[in-house]
Amino acid sequence: MIRINLMAVERGRTARWFGPELGNKVTLACCAIFVAVLAVVVWQSRLAGRETARLDDDLLDVNQELAAMADVVGRRNEFEARSTEMARRVALIEELRNGQSGPVRMLDQVSRGLPEGVWLTELRQEGANITIQGRATNLTVLSDLVVALESSGYFALPVDIVDSQLEPQTEGDVVRFELRAEFLVPSS
């Protein structure tokens, strides 16, 4: 059986959501999400661009500092090379000074003990033995030389007068002499 309702009854309309239909609402929500994501991407891109610019500036500063430091490093290397060379020279001088202390002291003591009126013509050293030849105005200054050498502490006693002869000269007589001694370096 078919029933037909002829009564006019108004039916209540089904409640609709406010605004456009549901499909349009989903589209609007997707568009809003897309715009939000696009805004975040643009914002992040600008931040990354600023950070890149800052890092480029920092890199430029570091490169300038490295260029300045290259000069400093070059000068430091030059200084180290000179320092090494100077240390080598000082060591060589010390080695020479230590090796020459005996002859230098011997010549110093001979020159200190040389009285006025005596001049040397030859000084030979063979090991520790010293031979001194020279001229003196008289025998007194020759004996003064011998006493000065013996009292210096650098020559073993006695300092021997090997030969002394009177030589006539036009200005007066001089004494030609030869001395022998043993040179001792006192312990320091």
Per-residue pLDDT of the chain (188 residues; tens, 9 = 90+): 777 767 666 665 555 555 557 678 888 889 999 999 999 999 999 999 999 999 999 999 999 988 888 888 889 999 999 999 999 999 998 887 776 667 778 888 888 889 999 999 999 988 889 999 999 999 999 999 999 998 888 888 888 999 989 888 888 889 999 999 998 865 55
CA 130, CA 155: separation in Å to the nearest integer?
9
Question: Residue 119: which residues within 8 A CB-CB, separation 6 or more?
Answer: 134, 135
pLDDT at 71: 87
Of 180, 177, 183, give the one whose Cα is nearest residue 121: 177
Question: Residue 176: which residues within 8 A CB-CB, separation 6 or more?
Answer: 133, 134, 135, 163, 164, 165, 166, 167
Whether pTM > 0.75 for this model: the answer is no
Question: Residue 155: which residues within 8 A CB-CB, separation 6 or more?
Answer: 109, 130, 149, 181, 182, 183, 184
Write the pLDDT tens digit of every residue in 111-138: 888 999 999 999 998 888 999 999 999 9
Of 126, 118, 170, give the one whose Cα is nearest residue 149: 118
SS (H, E, C) the chain: CCCCCCCCCCCCCCCCCCCCCHHHHHHHHHHHHHHHHHHHHHHHHHHHHHHHHHHHHHHHHHHHHHHHHHHHHHHHHHHHHHHHHHHHHHHHHHHHHHHHHHHHHHHHHHHHHCCCCEEEEEEEEECCEEEEEEEECCHHHHHHHHHHHHHCCCECCCCEEEEEEEECCCCCCEEEEEEEEEECCCCC
Place of tokens 């030389």: 145
Question: Which residues pair with residue 160 across a beta bridge?
Answer: 180
